[in-house]
Amino acid sequence: MLTTVANNLINSTMKQLMPFIIVIVFFILIAIFILALYNYRLKKRIIDAGPLDETGLRFLSLLSGSRNEAVKWGLLLLSAGIGFVVLEFLPFSAVDSPAPYGIEMIFIAAGFLLYYLFLKRQKNSDTL
């Protein structure tokens, strides 16, 4: 009886929060797109201005960001996905237990750790 009441409460809360979450995610995606567009325009303007000195090259490299961003997000999403798959096979009560959150956080932290080790290995291979 108590679990059905809790499930109904969680479902109704999620139904009320979902439109707000969708709007927030939509605006975040628009902001990311606008930032990428303006970074591209700024880099193009700097390059079209002519030869660059050392300061200009450093600034241009800062605008480009890390060349390992795709690897970072790939490892994080892969580890989070593996965490969700593992959660499907573990028996627990989703309403009463905080275990799913902890297990998922462990897998996401493992993704960050793998990315750190990847960067460390890449830095060591670059210096050799």
Tell me the pLDDT tens digit for each residue of 83-127.
999 988 888 776 677 888 889 999 999 999 999 999 899 888 877
User: 111: closest CA among 86, 84, 74?
Assistant: 74
Residue range 42-80, pLDDT digits in tens: 888 887 888 878 887 777 777 766 677 888 889 999 999
- Domain with 94, as residue range(s), is 66-128
Q: Distances from the Cα of 77 to the Cαs of 81, 91, 118, 127, in angstroms?
A: 6, 23, 15, 29
Query: Are residue 14 and residue 30 in the same domain, yes or no?
Result: yes
Query: Are residue 84 and residue 109 in the same domain, yes or no?
Result: yes
Q: In the predicted model, is pLDDT for residue 8 greater than 90?
A: no
Domain stops at, among 44, 65, 86 = 65
The H or E element containing residue 5 is: helix 2-48
Residue 104 near residue 87, CB atoms below 8 Å: yes
Domain stops at, among 40, 65, 90 = 65
Q: How many domains does the chain have?
A: 2
Three-class SS of residue 20? helix
Query: Are residue 34 and residue 15 in the same domain, yes or no?
Result: yes
Q: Which amino acid is it at 107?
A: F
Q: What is the mean pLDDT of residues 13-39?
A: 86
What mean pLDDT is reported for the chain?
A: 82
